[in-house]
Amino acid sequence: MSAGLPEIDGALLQKRIDELSLITEAEPPAVTRVLFSDADLRGRDYVAGLCQRAGLSLRVDAVGNMFARWVGSAPEAPAVATGSHIDAIPNAGKFDGVVGVLGGISAIEALQKAGFKPRRSIEVVVFTAEEPTRFGIGCLGSRMLAGALSLDEARALRDPEGQSLEDLRRRADLTEPLETVALPENFYSAFVELHIEQGPLLEKENIPIGIVQAIAGPSAYRVKIAGEGGHAGALLMPGRQDASLAAAELALAVEKAALASGSPDTVATTGKWEIFPNAINSVPCDAMLEIDLRDTCLETRERALMLMREASVEIAARRGVEIKWEEINCDPPADGDPRTITITENVALQLDLATKRMVSRAYHDSLFMARVCPTTMIFIPCRNGYSHRPEEHSDPAHIAAGARVLAGTLARLSHEPL
């Protein structure tokens, strides 16, 4: 029985997802929208336009987080928040993050149309740079909202072209001081993020709604390897100090350490490689790797890291190269809030939608929002679990169902006792 729960205009939501996907630096259907690139700025304008047409009051903070608020009858009370990100890694799909932003706007429009009157304000947040593409660190906007990145660390960030956060803020006409980003205590009463699962479980088990009870803790490392270069023909094999081969051995040690952790939740990827001088007839003198290591349990993650570091020392000694590790980020896992999880589950139940409590192995802005208020996520199935690739796909019916559960959850949270 789904009395009182508004319908989502699924066709309009899908149309908007399609429209936003055409604002990209890549050849459609691929989507690339890196922080403060032209595509990102145009994508932000597109979303801002939707929020204004929905009558939401818009605010953009000093690092570019966008806040679109439906003011309730208790405007001073901590608001209920939802939202996600619209930035996209190179050659990505059109649903990651976008479903949570456009689904949040659709959820509010459905509540407005149904005549719902919010008590706590309801706010859609578009977080800046959930993806690490620009500065190598993920969740830049939500990290700063939660006070999990110091201003010095933020100011020290550099993108691959050497641009600073200040350079890019200027590009986006953001002039407020960074000190104004961190949220005051109790700014929000709850945060619920709608997102595609980015994994295969919901589709495999034919369950339309996942409810996230934990988010794996991500960590990332930049590893610089210095060897000895030389002529590919004249430099004989014995005693070579080939930086790229040390990198190759280290990448295999990364995989080995994750597999040896004893937990299926330990995952590690060497996703970024740079070799110098990267010329076919030159023995590589330098290499740079970026390693992504995650786990739902800190202890097993730390154990895997220790194995990687030990392997690194052995490789450096045996190959006569210097290996330096730099931590990019090292974040603890987050737990979903039991009460918010139950409210979300009850809404799905009322809509006769089966649910499954899950762990999110991808990180999300919810990882940091969980530090500032009770948080959970609503997952919807995505085809074959594909994500971060153009084939990423979620059925319009699943997207609309997820947005409908979100609408019902936001309505309940908005009327929670003050």
Residue ranges in contact with Mn ion by CB under 5 A: 96-97
Binding site partner of 109, from ligand HGY, Mn ion, none, Cβ cut-off 5-8 A by kind: none
Number of residues that bind ligand HGY (CB under 6 A): 5
Between 242 and 365, CB nearer to ligand HGY: 365
Q: Which residue has the tokens 């908007």?
A: 16
CB of 132: closest distance to ligand HGY in angstroms?
7
Q: How far apart are CA 255 and CA 270, in angstroms?
A: 8
Q: How far apart are CA 212 and CA 192, in angstroms?
A: 10
CB of 138: closest distance to ligand HGY in angstroms?
5
Rg from Cα positions in the chain: 23
Binding site partner of 363, from ligand HGY, Mn ion, none, Cβ cut-off 5-8 A by kind: ligand HGY
Between 226 and 330, CB nearer to ligand HGY: 330
Angle at the Cα of 354 (from 348 to 357), degrees rounded to 5?
85
Residues belonging to the chain: 418
Between 64 and 284, CB nearer to ligand HGY: 64
Cis amide linkage into residue 277, ω under 30° from 0: yes
- Is 392 a binder of ligand HGY (CB under 6 A)? no
For residue 246, what is the DSSP state? H
Rule CB under 6 A: which of 95-154 touch ligand HGY?
130-131, 138
Between 139 and 400, CB nearer to ligand HGY: 139
Between 64 and 138, CB nearer to ligand HGY: 138
CB of 97: closest distance to Mn ion in angstroms?
4
The DSSP-derived string for 153-187 is HHHH-B-TT--BHHHHHHHTT--S-GGG-SPPTTS
Between 17 and 315, CB nearer to ligand HGY: 17
CB of 28: closest distance to ligand HGY in angstroms?
20
Q: How far apart are CA 22 and CA 24, in angstroms?
A: 6
Residue of this chain nearest to ligand HGY (CB atom): 362
In the shown chain, the binding pattern of residues 342 to 381 toward ligand HGY, with x for contact by CB under 6 A and - for none, equals --------------------xx------------------
Q: How far apart are CA 91 and CA 82, in angstroms?
A: 26
Between 51 and 89, CB nearer to ligand HGY: 89
Binding site partner of 138, from Mn ion, ligand HGY, none, Cβ cut-off 5-8 A by kind: ligand HGY
**Helices assigned H by DSSP within 54-183:** 98-113, 140-145, 151-156, 165-171
Q: How far apart are CA 282 and CA 268, in angstroms?
A: 30
225 contacts 323 by C-beta, under 8 angstroms: yes
Residues 6+ apart with CB under 8 A from 232: 280, 281, 282, 283
Nearest to 95 by CA among 238, 195, 212, 244: 195
CB of 82: closest distance to Mn ion in angstroms?
14
CB of 207: closest distance to ligand HGY in angstroms?
21
For residue 237, how far is the Cα from the chain centroid? 44
Dihedral (CA of 125, 215, 80, 17) sign:
positive
Residue of this chain nearest to Mn ion (CB atom): 97
Between 119 and 361, CB nearer to ligand HGY: 361
CB of 333: closest distance to ligand HGY in angstroms?
13
CB of 97: closest distance to ligand HGY in angstroms?
8
Q: Which residue has the tokens 């100090």?
A: 241
CB of 294: closest distance to ligand HGY in angstroms?
8
Q: What are phi and psi of 279, to 5 degrees?
A: -125, 140
Between 10 and 199, CB nearer to ligand HGY: 199
Q: In the structure encoding, which two tokens stand for residue 204, read together?
A: 């495999």
Contact residues toward ligand HGY (CB under 6 A) are: 130-131, 138, 362-363
